[in-house]
Amino acid sequence: MSKPTRTFDHIPVVDISGLYSDKLADRQQVAKQIADAATNVGFLYITGHRIPQSLIDALLVRTKEFFARPHREKMRYYIGNSSNHSGYVPEGEEQFYGGKIDHKEAYDINNDLGHLSQQGPMIGPTQWPDMAGFKEDVSAYYQAALNLGQLLFRGFALALDLPEDTFDDKVKNPPSQLRLIHYPYNPDAQDREGIGAHTDYECFTLLLPTTDGLEVLNDNGEWIDAPVIPESFVVNIGDMMEILSNGRFIATSHRVRKVKEERYSFPLFCSCDYDTIIEPLVDPAPGIKPGTYQPMCCGDHLLAQTMHTFHYLKERVAKGELQFPDSSADASSFGKLREVL
């Protein structure tokens, strides 16, 4: 059987209330819709989640307060000060393949694993800014979103016809990062995208954007709009879920177009625990040759990817302070920055 062509023209909406049900049939009914969306599009909106709006409102207030601070003050929390990839990411810090720089600034929040003995370049405590209420409100959202992510992992397991608890012991302390992103309004910025075309590295992303601008690429090379739907989240499949699902669920390229208004967005990149081996859990999807997806270490993959794009990490490598993880393949085999037509 050949690989299906994904010609979607909209992003499906899935009401996930059934995932909270005690009845397996209710959970399976949602899982079936997740499977369809993940197979045919790689993106879906979810409604019926139980994250209170008050947590989202507080997250947005704190984020706006932070980014409104002068550059010098924000740089006190520069990500390059941290030993575990947490803190402020100024515009230009991240450089993607082809040398592109996005028109955005960000703040990277870690799963605050300071209490664990395992620490490393992607794992450990968050570098918190010294701002009243920031840590409390951002952590409260982080925890609620992470819990929703755990529920979705169970949904994805069912969607793959696997036991529902397949991922439970693989997502105990994942190095899942929450990004607070600010795309400033700049009428002169004619030459850059808000964020260039890419796939996400992790299993899936739970994304909360404040305004339109997100676009998703179908197999005809058309950019399909993913406008904001109130009270929903966007969920998109990342590279690792594509591997786990042996090509059944697709990590779809997406981008954010130049914004006419100020835009904020909050992706939580849902990963497995650092040492998890990411490898196919099911038979190859139609059109996928056996052996297409090779096993890799989850945390090392994230680290290697990040080392290729962040300026401060490249400097550490150049100075001999940091080495690429042994198990990581070379950069070009990572991600699937599909050519944009």
Ligand X SMILES: O=C(O)CCC(=O)C(=O)O
Site residues (vs ligand X, CB under 6 A): 179, 181, 195, 200, 207, 209, 214, 254, 256, 265, 267
| Paired tokens of 262 | 């100020």
Residue 265's binding partner out of ligand X, Fe ion, none, with CB under 5 to 8 Å set by partner kind: ligand X
Shortest Cβ 298–ligand X spacing (Å) = 17
Nearer to ligand X, 38 or 214 (CB): 214
Shortest Cβ 152–ligand X spacing (Å) = 17
Q: What is the DSSP string of 51-94?
A: --HHHHHHHHHHHHHHHTS-HHHHGGGBGGG-SSS-EEE-TTSB
Residue 256's binding partner out of ligand X, Fe ion, none, with CB under 5 to 8 Å set by partner kind: ligand X
Q: Which of 4, 8, 3, 1 is nearest to 221 (CA)?
A: 8
- How far apart (Å, rounded) are the C-alpha atoms in residues 309 and 99? 9
Give Rg (Cα) of the chain: 19
Shortest Cβ 201–ligand X spacing (Å) = 9
Query: Could you say which DSSP state residue 321 is in?
Result: S
**Residue 242 binding Fe ion, by CB under 5 A:** no
Residue 328's binding partner out of Fe ion, ligand X, none, with CB under 5 to 8 Å set by partner kind: none
Determine how β-strand 204-209 pairs with β-strand 177-183.
Answer: unpaired
Q: What is the DSSP string of 182-218?
A: EE---TT--S--SEEEE--SSSEEEEEESSS-EEEE-
Nearer to ligand X, 254 or 301 (CB): 254
Residue 74's binding partner out of ligand X, Fe ion, none, with CB under 5 to 8 Å set by partner kind: none
Residue 155's binding partner out of ligand X, Fe ion, none, with CB under 5 to 8 Å set by partner kind: none
- How far apart (Å, rounded) are the C-alpha atoms in residues 27 and 22? 8
Nearer to ligand X, 155 or 196 (CB): 196
Residue carrying the six token digits 């799963």: 111
Indicate the residue whose CB is closest to ligand X.
265
Nearer to ligand X, 160 or 234 (CB): 234
Shortest Cβ 66–Fe ion spacing (Å) = 21
- How far apart (Å, rounded) are the C-alpha atoms in residues 135 and 139? 6
Nearer to ligand X, 180 or 307 (CB): 180
Shortest Cβ 333–ligand X spacing (Å) = 20
Helix (H, G, I), strand (E, B) or coil at 180: strand
Q: 178 to 237, contacts with Fe ion by CB under 5 A? A: 200
Residue 233 · residue 46 · CB < 8 Å: yes
Residue 69's binding partner out of ligand X, Fe ion, none, with CB under 5 to 8 Å set by partner kind: none
- How far apart (Å, rounded) are the C-alpha atoms in residues 62 and 314? 30
Shortest Cβ 256–ligand X spacing (Å) = 5
Nearer to Fe ion, 197 or 297 (CB): 197
Residue 38 · residue 285 · CB < 8 Å: no
Residue 181's binding partner out of ligand X, Fe ion, none, with CB under 5 to 8 Å set by partner kind: ligand X
Shortest Cβ 76–Fe ion spacing (Å) = 27
Indicate the residue whose CB is closest to Fe ion.
200
248: left (phi over 0), alpha (psi -120 to 50) or beta: alpha
- Sequence-distant (6+) residues with CB within 8 A of 250 are 6, 38, 39, 41, 42, 237, 242
- How far apart (Å, rounded) are the C-alpha atoms in residues 17 and 188? 44
Nearer to ligand X, 233 or 288 (CB): 233
Residue 209's binding partner out of Fe ion, ligand X, none, with CB under 5 to 8 Å set by partner kind: ligand X
Nearer to ligand X, 64 or 179 (CB): 179
| Paired tokens of 157 | 């397991």
Shortest Cβ 23–ligand X spacing (Å) = 34
Interface with Fe ion by CB under 5 A: which residues?
200
